[in-house]
């Protein structure tokens, strides 16, 4: 997988954002709903109607929207991830 900075730069360069933050967030929710539908079908073993590749595609849709929203808000998710991971470790006493 590409490093976080490479990924965010690629998204910024190749896919110029034309939406405001609220619209991007709504689209993220839409993608999450699509993942929910696909995953529910997959878990019910309706594999003729879905596949792991479709789950993967929906997860990437969420990642794309999340990274774009983070870019718009000037949030470095790598920094945020490391910080929250430390908080989580304290929470579960690791
Ligand atoms: Mg989708």
Q: Give the pLDDT score at 3.
A: 87
pLDDT tens digits along 65-90: 999 999 999 999 999 999 999 999 99
What mean pLDDT value characterizes the chain?
91
What is the 89 CA–ligand 1 centroid distance (Å)? 32
For 2, counting Cβ atoms within 10 Å of its Cβ (0-12 exposed, 13-18 middle, 19+ buried), the class is: exposed
Residues measured by CB to lie within 5 Å of ligand 1, the ion: 31, 34, 58, 61
Residue 16's domain spans which residues?
4-91
Whole-number Å distance, alpha carbon 86 to ligand 1 midpoint, is 31
Query: Which whole number is the average pLDDT over 38-58?
Result: 87
- Write out the two tokens for 53: 């590749």
Q: What's the gap in Å between 57 CA and the centre of ligand 1?
A: 7
Distance CA 15, CA 25 (A): 16
Task: Find the CATH number of the domain harbouring 74.
Answer: 1.10.287.1080
**Distance from C-alpha of 76 to C-alpha of 74, rounded to nearest angstrom:** 7
Is the pLDDT reported for residue 48 higher than 80?
Answer: no
State how many domains the chain has: 1
Both tokens of residue 90?
A: 């304290």
Q: What is the pLDDT of residue 4?
A: 85
């Amino acid at each position: 997988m590409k490093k976080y900075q490479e990924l965010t730069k690629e998204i910024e360069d190749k896919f110029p954002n034309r939406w405001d933050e609220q619209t991007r967030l709504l689209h993220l929710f839409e993608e999450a709903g699509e993942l929910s539908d696909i995953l529910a079908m997959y878990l019910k073993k309706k594999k003729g109607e879905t596949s792991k590749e479709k789950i993967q595609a929906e997860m990437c849709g969420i990642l794309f929207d999340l990274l774009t929203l983070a870019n718009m808000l000037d949030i470095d998710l790598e920094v945020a991830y490391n910080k929250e991971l430390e908080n989580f470790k304290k929470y579960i006493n690791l």
